[in-house]
Amino acid sequence: MNLLGKIFTVLILLASVALMIIAMFVYSTHRNWQDAYNQLNTKFQAATAANANAEAQYLAQISQLKSEQSAAVQDVAKLETERNLIVSQNQAIQKEVDELRRDQAQSVALVKATEENINRLTQEVTGLRDSIRVAQQERDEQFHTTLKATSELHSVGGQLQQLEERSSQIVAQLADVTAKATEGGVDLQGEFVPRVRGKVSKLRRSTEGLLIEITVGADDGIRPGQNIEIFRGDRYLGRAEIMRADPDRAVGRILREFQQGQIQENDDVATKLRVG
């Protein structure tokens, strides 16, 4: 055998080995294509049924979504209508708020002007009250002065008339007494204080002390500077000095150094025989 034959022999051996390996591989991967087809067909039918079911669900969902979309569109339209209504109401409310703010600003300005006017009027009223008070005080003082002057004028007029009448009587009495005393030899140069009794009619206090008013006066012989004794029954109460004597009454000041009891209205008073 030559070299070429050996080469071919080796090649044939290698080819045989390769075919044997391929045959073994093909045998190991051999399948039952009928079973595979049946399995694939079953899967295909299941997939087709699942696809039909899914398509039906899809169509149902599409229909439901369209219904929901239509309802949503209606809801959106309704909400849009409500929104427009709310916007209109909001605009109306805003307009009212603006008007209220303008009214409030006008009210604030009016209140401020009113407060200023009230303050001005209050000041004017205070000034007028002060003026009225001063005028009333002046009027009252003038009225009291006029009333006092009128009362004093009437009193003085009455006293003057009484004094004139009493003077005429006294002059006549004095002439008669003088004549009788001269005939009887009586010395007329000395002073004589008649015995007079009366009552305490009023008491009042002043800066000069406790003053009393008595029911006897100049017509009864009471003179300023004269002392009178005060008593109640058998109890001696004190002494008073006559400060003013009117025709039918007199005013005296209690001499504290002679006071021996509480002096009251209706206590008795009597003159001394001479000026103390």
Q: Match 């071919």 to its residue by tokens.
A: 8
Q: Which helix (H) or strand (E) is 275 found in, with range?
A: none
What mean pLDDT value characterizes the chain? Answer: 82
Q: pLDDT band at 132, cuts 50/70/90?
A: confident
Angle, vertex CA 47, rays to CA 46 and CA 48, nearest 5: 90
Q: What is the pLDDT of residue 184?
A: 45
pLDDT per residue over 206-217, tens digit each?
888 899 999 999
pTM of the model: 0.33
Q: What percent of the chain has pLDDT over 70?
A: 86
Distance, CA of 252 to CA of 268 (rounded, Å): 14
Rounding to the nearest 10 degrees, give the CA dihedral for residues 106, 109, 113, 115. Answer: 110
pLDDT per residue over 4-42, tens digit each?
778 888 888 888 888 888 888 777 765 555 776 788 888
Residue 80: pLDDT over 60: yes
* Assigned token pair, 224: 């300023």
| Beta carbons of 238 and 261 less than 8 angstroms apart | yes
Distance, CA of 251 to CA of 268 (rounded, Å): 14
Residue 254's CB: how many other CB atoms inside 10 A? 21
Residue 271's CB: how many other CB atoms inside 10 A? 23
Q: What is the pLDDT of residue 273?
A: 39
Q: pLDDT band at 185, cuts 50/70/90?
A: very low
Collapsed DSSP state (helix, strand, coil) of residue 263: coil
* Assigned token pair, 248: 């039918």
Q: pLDDT band at 43, cuts 50/70/90?
A: confident
| Beta carbons of 155 and 208 less than 8 angstroms apart | no
pLDDT per residue over 60-77, tens digit each?
888 888 888 888 888 888
Q: What is the pLDDT of residue 145?
A: 80
The closest alpha carbon to 266, from 183, 185, 201, belongs to 201
